[in-house]
Structure 1
Amino acid sequence: MYVVNIADTYNLKDTKEAAQKFMRENFIEFSEMEQFLKLTYEQISEFLTDDSLQLPSELTAFQIAIKWLDFDEKRLKYAPDLLCNIRFGTISPQDLVSHVQIVPRMMQDAECHRLLVDAMNYHLLPFQQNILQSRRTKVRGGQRVLLTVGGRPALTEKSLSKDILYRDEDSVWNKLTEMPAKSFNQCVAVLDGFLYVAGGEDQNDARNQAKH
């Protein structure tokens, strides 16, 4: 952050952007440094609004925001506005209950509580999520990854899979989620950030179509 402040003082735009990019890509490590707690509201808000912020989950973003708020009671007035930058809709219902709801501020402050309720309602209406999109439901990162959807683990195998996998930057395949049923030869499309899977076969007989 020291480099960012110096670059800002002397109007070194490229240097400032490079330093901020490094901080976004290493935000967890930065959040553990003393300098993080000295960020102004405007500075931390700028980080939390950034779509390219590199974090393992949005729950981590929430915990980092709470850490900054709790450092100084004078910052509590910023809580509703700062937490509006958290994509609560991308936090799982289990984590909302186990890690977000237990934070007193999320239940006691009306505006913060509304953010929690909106996220829970979003998860309660899975078939309406495509029309309930907002900034708080947008996944961070912007990384392009390769997905596999169901199918056979190998052409020589008869067993099918219902797993949806993605390949990370280290070329390792990780499970993202799974379909309701095993299938292959399905149609897959991405539209407005949603993955749609239609049709497919549940075995070699094409007459047995899996329904998704």
Structure 2
Amino acid sequence: MIKVTVWNEFLHEKIHEEVKSVYPDGIHEALAKGIANDDFEVATATLEEPEHGLTADRLANTDVLIWWGHMGHDQVDDVIVERVQQRVWEGMGLIVLHSGHFSKIFKKLMGTSCDLKWREAGEKERLWVVNPAHPIASGLPEHITLEHEEMYGEHFDIPAPDELVFVSWFEGGEVFRSGCTFNRGQGKIFYFRPGHETYPTYYNPQILQVIQNGVRWAAPSHAAVPVRGNHQPLEPIGNKG
């Protein structure tokens, strides 16, 4: 059983009727219901909960954390960001969605500005699978078409991804690296672009399939734990004097 926590700042849905009409219970609830299956144990957490819902105990019992944020990036406590970073280093998977590219945790883990071009015009997005052998692309067609999405365009200021799974083309002509993976410490990170709050992207079965695949890919592998710091020799060291 993979333990998943879906984190959403849950601000737009409370103050913007257009967003509330699409996600009346919040983006986190739509995602939690959308990815639910017999292999996942899914919980949710939001910005305004104590410790943003990301207590040490909650994170210790999370295999994969899914992150959606936008207007409340600066409201996330740096102590919680460092706590999440530590858990990623220890092996927790992290899936960062859409405008989470500007979250404190993603920028901290990437070490770059994570800036990009954007335009909100409700245009068509065609999400191309450029690495069909990757586990995150399992069961998908060669492309996914979203009739209405926000445009993100290059240049995306991130480190070169360890793996590139999806590239988007937009009706206005831009392209974007929309599905990128990274390794940090023992943890695996998947950035996935689609998911603007005013469009029903997180009800799309193919988008939910990508996120489910991402959870399975990012889940801890329980590989050997590295040993660091001062270390005694494994074999006798002869006198070299």
- TM-score, structure 1 as length reference: 0.27
Select the structure that is richer in helix.
1
Select the structure that is richer in strand.
2
- TM-score, structure 2 as length reference: 0.25
Task: Select the structure with the greater relative contact order (CA < 8 A; seq sep ≥ 6).
Answer: 2
